[in-house]
Amino acid sequence: MQGGDYGAPTIDNHAALPRSLNPPALDSSLMRIPLAWKNLVHQPRRLLVAVCGIGFAVVLMFMQLGFRNALFDSTVALHRALDADLVITSVARYSVLINETFSRRRLAQALACASIESARPLYIDTLQSVWKDPASGQTHPIRVLAFDPRDPLLPIDPALAQALVKPGTMLVDRRSKGDYGQPQVGDDIELSGHQTEIVGMFELGTDFANDGNVIMSTQQFRNYYTAPGARTDRLANVDIGALKLKPGASPSAAIAELTAALPDDVQVLTRKEFINRELSFWQTSTPIGFIFMMGTIMGFIVGVVICYQILYSDVDDHMAEFATLKAMGYHNSYFISLVLQESLWLSAFGFVPGIIVAGTLYMLLSALTGLLMDLTTGRVIGVLLLTLAMCIVSGCLALRRVFQADPAELF
């Protein structure tokens, strides 16, 4: 109030001053500056180290997932290639690796069912099949697949199927491992003690149990694997029965019909069930899948540690600046946003070289081993999400150092 003017209000000339230092106004101006980007790139050497470290973690995760999925994809490559709607196996055969067969009469009984159009046998041998390298004389086990070439069960060229009708011939998987040399069409190879001519190539791929594959006719399979003087024909016992349904037939109804018609020494599965059962065996009954999954987790942890060290060092180098911003009125939400932006930039920087290196290794290993190591869209997205999570977790851990910034330390 002024003098005796008791009714006049007093105007405080300093009341509006603090509005010029209002933190939200400063926030809006500072937010236009790409502070997260500048914090990362102002020291190129540190950024390069960060990219290499995160890229290494990305490659490690890609390779572990690649080996794990190569195990599963390669193991069921035969299942997926099989031309069948339904599959018959022995009840004791819980994996294709298991040498359990069933009587061929079961296929004739299945063919008598109204919904079945065809019932074809697939014969598999891995115990007696031996490949002899003509150059070195060394022998190696190999998987032999046999079926009637006039009605092939696997996708092969019709001309090659016709060539298999000739006795003493076979097809060789071009994706077999290098242990079998460099076989060419027209070569004569000793297979299980018999001279056999290579008349063509096909593609199936190896797995963790089989290093190579050959295809021959059922008649030749009988000649090669029926013991001299044996009372039982090798073709009398079938490894896998491939059934085709008549047009419009329901798979579930056909399975019910077959289950009622067939003895309980066999089981009938859809092809999807056939594949899932094989995958389940490898996932639950072997340690391989668990080992590769642990490798992926370790890659994630390595990435978290590397990214955390980079972010922590960056935050620690700028503690005075963070304290200054706090003294100006900036809240923790701004610093959270800043550090998480740096985390996202680091994940992008590390993922790009990581996927390039991993893709190169996938192609190299696939060519050398014959395993199905494919850089699928799903795997790329999966590792990208893991990389983002890895860097975000690291950013959240580094935020503890930001929160410790005390404006009082400036004075």
pLDDT for the residue 7: 44
Instruction: Taking residues 290-308, report their average pLDDT.
Output: 84
Residue, of 275 and 334, whose pLDDT is higher: 275
* Percentage of the chain exceeding pLDDT 90: 37
3-state secondary structure 205-270: CCCCCCCCEEEEEHHHHHHHHCCCCCCCCHHHEECEEEEEECCCCCHHHHHHHHHHHCCCCEEEEE
**Cα-to-chain-centroid distance, residue 25:** 50
pLDDT per residue as tens digits for the range 97-137: 888 999 999 999 999 999 999 999 999 998 888 998 877 78
* pLDDT classification of 5: cutoffs 50, 70, 90: very low
Give the pTM: 0.73
Pairing of strands 188-191, 194-202: antiparallel
Confidence tier at 306 by pLDDT (50, 70, 90): confident
Residue 370 phi, psi (nearest 5): 80, 0
Q: How many CA atoms lie within 13 A of 307 on its CB side?
A: 36
For the chain, the domains span 26-74+288-410, 92-263
Q: Which pLDDT value is given to residue 4?
A: 44
Read off the pLDDT of residues 329-351 as tens digits, 9 standing for 90 and up: 777 777 777 788 888 888 888 89
**Confidence (pLDDT) at 409:** 58
What does pLDDT average to over the chain? Answer: 83
